[in-house]
């Protein structure tokens, strides 16, 4: 943003990468951010993680994308300017923005700090109408962003800026169910799928003191699972191993990003155990009620977490030195990164170094 943009009436000129239509590759795109409101924080984006949702949104996989599309909701930045009423941040602070940038702020869920469950619907970082101007929000594959201070996170001292970005979506999406279901020392946690979300679930559950099992269709991910902090790998296609694991989990986090059958996993839960789904999959294969009733077991879903819990996660990761495994890319490598992500050819998250994005 130019240094002359100091008056609140000026909109911020910025640039990034956008998809202009369904099926289009992401290409350079100049656009504007809103003028600073009194409670807004303007930041230069330093890093942005690449999430599966970015790809789905860019390609209109959910059917409601509004073009042009600038994806990106795992944002690490540096404050460059604050509005007149901003008290929590000042220039040069290291800050972060996740999947949402606004909510009603007055419903029961918002007052509890569960803005992700806002009764009026939260405003997503990209692809949502701004609550005041109705302009579509645009994401973090760009040089700058303007966000109200209530949705800006503080990056704690000591957290590696270049690797922290995926905590803002993959991290909080897996941390929130761990906290909702009270995971701590001695908890028995299973993780299905070892991608961007799964690898964070392993690190975070392990960091909370749980006994962690990765469930995979083949044994070839065992070394990776153990290296990430898991205690063992359970091969889900091995009937004997699955039978032996019956009733042995308190919580299973299912991170598989495509339609699949959850029935083989349900008997693995102990009484009152929960299988929580954190991917947006649409329909699942038909679940059987038998293991649900016999073990009083539950299937649940969980979105991201609230702002307070996201801050708790960042602080927890700084204290415990838990960081996502990242491959850093340049902005102009994003289309290739999308293709590799579709082939699950990434360990475990791409992060764009925004220093590589120039006008």
Would you tell me which residues interact with Zn ion (CB under 5 A)? 51, 53, 103-104, 107, 110, 118, 169
In terms of CB distance, is 51 or 76 closer to Zn ion?
51
Nearest distance from residue 145's CB to Zn ion, in Å?
16
**CB-nearer residue toward Zn ion: 103 or 138:** 103
**Is the bond preceding 348 in cis, omega lying within 30 degrees of 0?**
yes
Cβ neighbours of residue 338 closer than 8 Å, sequence gap 6 or more: 26, 50, 54, 55, 58
- Minimal distance, residue 99 CB to Zn ion, in Å: 6
Q: How far is the CB of 306 from Zn ion (least distance, A)?
A: 11
Smallest separation, CB 354 to Zn ion (Å): 17
Beta bridge partners of 300: 276
d(CA 286, CA 262) in angstroms, rounded, equals 8
CA dist 249 and 189 (Å) reads 6
Q: Which residues of 292-305 are buried (b: 16+ CB within 10 A; e: fewer)?
A: eeebebebeebbbb
Q: Given the complex with Zn ion, which of 43 and 278 has the nearer CB atom?
A: 278
- The smaller minimum CB distance to Zn ion, of residues 1 and 110, is found at 110
Nearer to Zn ion, 134 or 358 (CB): 134
Q: State how far the Cα of 284 lies from the Cα of 330, in Å rounded to an integer.
A: 36
Peptide bond into 68 cis (omega under 30): yes
Question: In whole angstroms, how close is the CB of 165 to Zn ion at the nearest point?
Answer: 11
Q: 28 — phi, psi (to 5°)?
A: -55, 145
* SS3 assignment, position 197: helix
Please tell me the distance from the alpha carbon of residue 205 to that of residue 187, in angstroms, as a whole number. 9
Least distance from Zn ion to the Cβ atom of residue 98, Å? 8
Q: Hunting for tokens 């990034």 — which residue is that?
A: 16
Residue ranges of alpha helices (H) inside the chain are: 52-58, 108-111, 161-164, 170-180, 196-207, 222-228, 239-244, 289-294, 307-320, 334-342
Q: How many residues would you count in the chain?
A: 359
CB of 115 to Zn ion, least distance (A): 6
- Which residue, 12 or 141, has its beta carbon nearer to Zn ion? 141
Cβ closest to Zn ion, residue 104 vs residue 136: 104
Between CA 93 and CA 309 the distance in angstroms is: 20
The helix-helix angle for 170-180 and 307-320 (nearest 10°) equals 100
User: Smallest distance, Å, CB 2 to Zn ion?
Assistant: 31
As a 3-state breakdown, the chain gives helix, strand, coil percent values, each rounded to 5, of: 30, 25, 45
CB of 249 to Zn ion, least distance (A): 25
Complex with Zn ion: residue 50 or 80, whichever CB lies closer = 50
Q: Which is nearer to Zn ion, 118 or 357 (CB)?
A: 118
């Amino acid at each position: 943003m130019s240094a002359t943009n100091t008056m609140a009436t000026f909109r911020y000129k910025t640039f990034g990468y956008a998809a202009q239509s369904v099926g289009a590759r992401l290409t350079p795109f100049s656009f504007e951010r809103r003028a600073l409101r009194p409670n807004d924080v303007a930041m230069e984006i330093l890093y942005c993680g690449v999430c599966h949702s970015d790809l789905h949104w860019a390609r209109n996989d959910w059917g409601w994308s509004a073009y042009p599309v600038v994806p990106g909701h795992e944002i690490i930045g540096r404050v460059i300017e604050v509005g007149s009423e901003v008290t929590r941040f000042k220039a040069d602070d290291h800050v972060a923005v996740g999947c949402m940038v606004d909510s009603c702020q007055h419903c029961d869920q918002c007052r509890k700090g569960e803005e992700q469950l806002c009764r009026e619907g939260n405003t997503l970082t990209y692809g949502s109408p701004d609550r005041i101007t109705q302009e579509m929000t645009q994401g973090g594959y760009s040089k700058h962003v303007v966000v109200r201070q209530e949705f800006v996170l503080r990056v704690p001292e000591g957290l590696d800026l270049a690797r922290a970005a995926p905590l803002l979506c993959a991290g909080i999406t897996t941390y929130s169910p761990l906290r909702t279901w009270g995971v701590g020392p001695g908890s028995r946690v299973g993780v299905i799928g070892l991608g961007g979300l799964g690898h964070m679930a392993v690190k975070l559950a392990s960091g909370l003191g749980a006994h962690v099992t990765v469930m995979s269709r083949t044994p070839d991910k065992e070394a990776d699972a153990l290296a990430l902090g898991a205690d063992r790998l359970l091969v889900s296609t091995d009937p004997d191993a699955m039978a032996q694991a019956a009733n042995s989990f308190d919580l299973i986090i299912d991170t598989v990003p495509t339609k699949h059958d959850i029935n083989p996993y349900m008997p693995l839960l102990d009484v009152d155990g929960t299988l929580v789904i954190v991917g947006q999959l649409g329909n699942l294969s038909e679940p059987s009620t038998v293991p649900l009733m016999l073990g009083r077991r539950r299937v649940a879903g969980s979105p991201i977490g609230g702002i307070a819990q996201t801050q708790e996660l960042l602080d927890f990761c700084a204290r415990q030195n838990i960081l996502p495994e990242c491959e850093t890319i340049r902005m102009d490598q994003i289309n290739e990164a999308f293709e590799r992500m579709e082939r699950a050819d990434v360990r475990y998250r791409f992060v764009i170094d925004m220093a590589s994005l120039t006008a």
